Amino acid sequence: MPTELLFRDDAYLTEAEAKVEAVNELGGIVLDRTIFYATGGGQPGDVGKLRRADGSEIAIGTTIYNKEDKGQVIHVPAEGQGAPQVGETVTLVLDWDRRLKRMRIHTALHLLSVVLPFPVTGGSIGDGDGRLDFDIPEGGLDKAEVTEKLNELVARNAAVSERWITDEELDANPGLVKTMSVKPPRGSGRVRLVSIEGIDLQPCGGTHVRNTSEIGLVAVTDIEKKGKQNRRVRIALA
Ligand SMILES: [Zn+2]
């Protein structure tokens, strides 16, 4: 059974009940559903805890996808934690401070890809900072200028929303694909599109804030040359 990904529909859930489906040989906990984002797309897996019915807690150090079954999420306990029983109902409690910082950075990186409309070759999201690597033929990027443009977009108070679209709908709307900053992946039958109203549209499975205003002030902290055609642009919450 694939894990139901509650964060895909509501990234603001900080607590949820779930049932323990399995505990693997390494202690990894599989639940029927989760609010914990699993490592992927440059964003680290969520941390938090599982609260058991008797009030005891199991600290979760990270969250990952099962390599053999990509639809299954594994909650990896921190060292020295107890294990729940299969069939038990637990309450997931997310480390929200950390997740919100990641959501703010993640959404800011969407905006960065608008300020710098070049092919993205990589990226990473941290707790309050992050980076994108761009395929940029020439240098001359100015930190202050990119920062200013980025904050202009943040200040537009643009709504961020997600919706699913089927491959058939995509085929029927070639114009939509043309407006996307990243080409949607094919083959899974449907694609999750993230829209920043009037600013950006791209396929993404990550967690975002609901409005660009929630990002707050950001700054470009570094622009690094990574090879002839590559620039690594780092940003941080101000
Ligand atoms: Zn995203």
pLDDT one digit per residue (tens) for the chain, 238 residues: 899 999 999 999 999 999 999 999 989 999 999 999 999 989 999 999 999 999 999 999 999 999 999 899 999 999 999 999 999 999 999 999 999 999 999 999 999 999 999 989 999 999 999 999 999 877 788 999 999 999 999 999 999 999 999 989 888 888 887 777 777 877 788 999 999 999 999 999 899 999 999 999 999 999 998 888 899 999 999 9
Tokens for 22, please give them: 């399995």
Q: Is the dihedral of CA 170, 72, 10, 117 positive or negative?
A: negative
Closest Cα partner for 132 from 213, 207, 223, 46? 223
pTM, full prediction? 0.93
Give residue 153 CA to ligand 1 midpoint distance, Å: 16
CA of 92 to the centre of ligand 1 (A): 23
- What radius of gyration do the chain's Cα atoms show? 19
Residues at Cβ < 5 Å from ligand 1 ion: 204, 206
Residue 16 sits at φ, ψ, to 5 deg, of -160, 150
| Distance from Cα 83 to the centre of ligand 1, integer Å | 33
Is-contact 129 236, C-beta < 8 A? yes
Instruction: Identify the CA nearest to 160 among candidates 128, 201, 122.
Output: 201
Paired strand residues for 20: 31
Residue 143 CA to ligand 1 centre (angstroms)? 23
Residue 66's nearest CA partner among 14, 150, 2 is 2
